[in-house]
Structure 1
Amino acid sequence: MRILACLPLVAALCGAFLTSIYPSPVWAEPTESCDLSFNYHVNYRNNLLELTGDDSQQYRFSAQGVWLDGQRLALNPQQLALAEEYRQAVIKQLPEVIALVDDTMTVVNQALLASLGPLLGQAQQQQLSDILQQTKLKVARQVGRDNDGFHLNATEYAFSDVFDAEFEQQIAELATQSIASFMLQMGMDMLSNNTSDADNSIDKFSTRMTQMGSQIEQAVNDSSEQLERRATGVCHTLRSLEQLEQQLTTAIPALAKMDLVNTAD
């Protein structure tokens, strides 16, 4: 049935875009369009940008200066200006990455709700809502933004872990339950000698699945194309950020080991 064929499409969208839009050395296989990685947890609050690595080394940037592991660096005016240019670039470009992740999650949720929602009973619809809410919370722990700032955790765990085997099993079970309910109703119609009702149910169900599958597939494809174009633009801006970072670490020897963004040629 085409409705079931749509589920791998949705899963592929989850994996492909979340890993290509927001990759990490431990999260994603390189992609041709966006082979980028982040190496630090990034937190921006109260005009203070903090980069923290797995080794707990911390870089802090404000308009007034730069700190390495709590120690303020002595910078000349040219170095301070370059550090501020870098800070402004990070706080402008990383929210674009986060927005792209948020919009991808919205597409995923809408596709699953549109495909499974109409086929589920009230209790099962609540299960689906709970699953999607749990997934949203997992993503929020890694990336998020509000009026006060943003955070992007590149060191915790893979985005692929958000859509893990448990998630796939939960969605598959809901799909199976919805089909089982239909088969039960059809069987009851046949046992009560309502053969015509059973035949009509089969025809209606088949038509409904074909139409719904086509609509969902088209919607996901349209959304994925838009997201892909945005991801390409984000990749270009992050490559420029990497170049600026290289200038900064060359100009300030104390920051020589700092490496927030990586791209592969």
Structure 2
Amino acid sequence: MNTQGLLKSIALTGLIFTAGAMSPAMAKLSIEDNQCNVALNYDVTVEPQKLSFSEKGAELYRVELGKLYVDGKQVELNDEQTELLSDYSEKVSQQIPEIIDLVNDAVILATDAVSMALTPIFGDATGAKLDELLAGIQTRVDQAAYQQGDKFYLGATEDSLENAFNEEFEQEMEQMIKNSMGSFMMALGAEMMSAEGGSFDEKMASFSSKMETIGEDIEMQISEQSDAIEAKAEKVCADFEEIMVLESELRESIPELSTYELATLSDSE
């Protein structure tokens, strides 16, 4: 079992950064479960009296005090359109905090699982360095999905994710890995050589078996949390199916919104 494989196993948590968390070139944020795949197309900010959708730092449209503004200009609405807009903005405003909560839960679970997997190999000292690496990832995720008081922000677009996981972050991670690699490799080599068996092949087989056991132990330890996160992901997908139906009606009813689609929803294969 390796780090990539372990992280892949955490995919059931419902959080998928399709280009990988360590790369500054990232795809849009998507949320998957066994039933659907939701890819968000815009950054969303939820405040008590305002819901805004943006891309590359520029606001596309917003709902404020029941009024719709597209490209900064108010759009006149009839009663039916106003009711549709109210229903839509209310559901999206409820959904975004749930997604942010899901993102944070998934990242915490994934980093905890990696730490549990590798600390027994590297020991507490090198494990602390690993925790520092993982904390750096958590800090950047917090820049892309956060709550500040009664304001919620979800940076789901490629541009927002690149801003969080930027070149500076990449350089920080590379330097930390470079500084830690020696002790990592020494600890890994020592663990391999201390494995049971006389020949090198026997030691490798013993080491592999130990890693599989560690993986099974971790799976048991995190199964309850991962099941809970998977249930959250299923709820998010189900809720978004309802939101997308409502959004389709809204975009058809209000021509100014016809080109704006918050999310792409497709069945998972």
Query: Where on the TM-score scale, by shorter chain, does this alignment land: which range?
Result: 0.7 to 0.9
CA gap of 1:9–1:210, structure 2 versus 1, over 3 A, is closer
Aligned-residue identity in percent: 24
TM-score (norm 1): 0.73
Per the alignment, residue 197 of structure 2 pairs with none
Give me the CA root mean square deviation: 4.1
The one-character-per-residue Cα deviations of 1:64-97 (angstroms, maximum 9, x if unpaired) are: 3010111111112222221111111001012212
Could you say what secondary structure the match of 1:19 adopts? strand
Q: Select which of 60, 68, 71 maps to 1:69.
A: 71
Of 127, 146, 155, 1:153 maps to 155
Contact in 1 for aligned 2:46/2:96 (Cα 8 Å): no
2:187 is the alignment partner of 1:178: yes
Give CA-to-partner distance per residue, 1:197-226, whole Å, 9 cap, x none: xxxxxxxx9997665443113224443333
Q: Could you tell me how far apart the structure 2 residues matched to 1:206 and 1:19 are?
A: 28
- Tell me which amino acid in the other structure corresponds to 2:16: T
Aligned counterpart, 2:240 = 238
The residue aligned with 1:11 is: 7
More strand by share: 2
Residue 27 of structure 1 deviates from its aligned partner by 5.6
Report the Cα distance in structure 1 between the residues aligned to 2:215 and 2:63, rounded to whole angstroms: 49
Give the letter for the 1:127 counterpart. Answer: K
Q: How big is the shift at 1:40?
A: 0.7
The 8 Å contact of residues 114 and 216 in structure 1, kept in 2 or not, is answered as yes
Structure 1: state its 5+ residue gaps: 187-204
Contact 1:20 1:31 (8 Å CA) reproduced: no
SS class of match (1:263): strand
Q: Displacement of 1:43 after TM fit? A: 1.2
Deviation at 1:104, TM superposition (A): 0.9
Paired residues, number: 244
Find the counterpart in structure 1 of residue 53 from structure 2: 51
Structure 2: segments with no counterpart, 5+ residues: 19-25, 195-206
Structure 1 residues 214-253: aligned runs within 5 Å: 214-253=216-255
Letter of the 2:7 counterpart: A
